[in-house]
Amino acid sequence: MSSLTKLDISWCEKLSILPEFGKCMKKLTTLDARKTTITKLPESLGFLSGLRDLNLRGPRKLILQMSVFKPTSLTMLDLSYCGISDESIPEDLGGLSSLITIKLEGNDFANLPSGCFSNLFQLLHLYLNNCERLKSLPKLPPRLIRLYATGCDSMEPLSSDGMWNIVSSLDHEYRCQTNYEKRALQLIQSGYVPEADFLAIMPKSEIPSWFPNRGFISSNESGTLEYELVVEIPPYFRASNWCGLAICLEIKDRSTCDKLVISWSCKASEDYHVCKDWENEISLAYAWHPRLCLMLLDFNEKTCWQHLRGGNDCLHIKLSIRCQYSKSPQLKYGWWALCKEEMQE
């Protein structure tokens, strides 16, 4: 067993006890125990020092013992549909310092500890879909790029305070530094697609009324939804600790849009005619519920300031939204140029 790298016991629905693991099983990288009836994990799970992918997806009632999650090498943890309640979630999951993806879908918690994710500095993807009792979001991990929270029917609609909580949780400076490029290379080598722009899929499907700019994006002859906007950048934005563009897309149902690929580019307004090459891309695959897509596009030297010159503070931003299996000629949108200082007023 010392050379075993993958153990797949998924769909063994009568399996209720996970066997003990030996200290020699350090090469095991993947353990797939989804769709079993296992309710308790052995302490010997901590011997699996090379474990990277642990799938315990239910349905089941799992007794969550965080003491057994000793492998700091874990990059993916799926605890979806495990009957996890408020009392089961620890105050801080920071011990799982290598996590890139955590899935907690379909669980029974109504409130998550405010700091349970904030010390997961490598976490990029957080799945909370179908947590029907969840009322609000905790502080998000600083480098998160994808948040999935559809089907969270008890969650309050996104407020301006909620928007600021999201913005203030994220490490925007990291996303435009060279060390992100190094991290991107590491992600590619691990099988992940490196992306910097933040995208959240929220449960409510209405554009918040406090978004100052709202309307509809219509499709062109090729079926691509495109929208071009000109943003006047106040002079104080450049001195802000963070500024950017928040964009909401309202997607009512699956027939409206099944798969999204969102591209965006930024140029100075006088370069309108050359704003055609997509510099940034966000992808979203198969979110079935009515939902609100919230994107945060950071304004920084790499994305925007390099295009401005001669005192001109007018940005031209072009969005391209390609919808696979789209049956709708338009999507409702809202956008808001904002900075940290304005949101804290």
| Whole-number Å distance between alpha carbons of 279 and 116 | 34
pTM: 0.84
pLDDT computed for residue 223 by the predictor: 61
Question: Which amino acid belongs to residue 169?
Answer: S
Token pair, residue 68, equals 């057994």
Task: Return the CATH number at 324.
Answer: 2.60.120
- Is 234 inside any structural domain? yes
Number of separate domains in the chain: 1
pLDDT computed for residue 256 by the predictor: 47
- Is 126 inside any structural domain? no
pLDDT computed for residue 151 by the predictor: 86
- Is 177 inside any structural domain? no
- Is 214 inside any structural domain? yes
Token pair, residue 149, equals 């929270």
- Nearest residue to 279 via CA among 251, 252, 306, 256: 306
- Is 320 inside any structural domain? yes
Residue 337: strand, helix, or coil: strand
Strands 213-218 and 291-298: unpaired
Mention every residue, 6+ apart, whose C-beta is less than 8 A from residue 222: none
| Whole-number Å distance between alpha carbons of 27 and 271 | 54
pLDDT computed for residue 177 by the predictor: 56
| Contact (CB, 8 A) for 233 and 299 | yes
pLDDT computed for residue 128 by the predictor: 94
Token pair, residue 305, equals 């300031």
Beta bridge partner(s), residue 229 = 317
| Whole-number Å distance between alpha carbons of 208 and 212 | 9
Q: Is the backbone of residue 309 left (phi > 0), alpha (psi -120 to 50) or beta? A: beta
Query: Exposure string (b/e) for 232-260, b if CB count within 10 Å is 16 or more?
Result: ebeeebbeeebbbbbbbbbbeeeebbbeb
Torsion angle, CA of 95/96/102/106, rounded to 10 degrees? -50
| Whole-number Å distance between alpha carbons of 188 and 210 | 38
| Whole-number Å distance between alpha carbons of 140 and 250 | 23
Parent domain of 317: 207-291+299-339
How long, in residues, is the chain?
Answer: 345
- Is 128 inside any structural domain? no
Whether cis (ω within 30° of 0) applies to the bond prior to 142 is: no
How many secondary structure helices (H) and strands (E) does the chain include? 4, 16
pLDDT computed for residue 77 by the predictor: 92
Residue 211: strand, helix, or coil: coil
| Whole-number Å distance between alpha carbons of 102 and 88 | 16
For the four alpha carbons of 305, 307, 310 and 312, in that order, the dihedral sign comes to: negative
Tens of pLDDT, residue by residue, the chain (345 residues) = 677 888 888 888 888 888 787 777 778 889 898 988 888 888 888 788 888 999 999 888 888 777 777 667 889 999 999 998 888 887 777 678 889 999 999 999 999 988 888 888 889 899 999 999 999 888 898 889 889 898 888 988 878 788 888 888 887 777 655 444 454 445 444 554 445 678 888 887 678 888 888 888 776 666 666 677 777 777 788 777 778 888 888 876 554 455 666 666 666 555 544 444 545 556 655 445 567 888 888 877 766 766 665 556 666 676 766 665 455 556 788 888 888 777 766
Through-space distance between the first and last CA atoms of the chain, rounded to whole angstroms: 60
| Whole-number Å distance between alpha carbons of 192 and 30 | 16
- Is 261 inside any structural domain? yes
Beta bridge partner(s), residue 30 = 6, 53
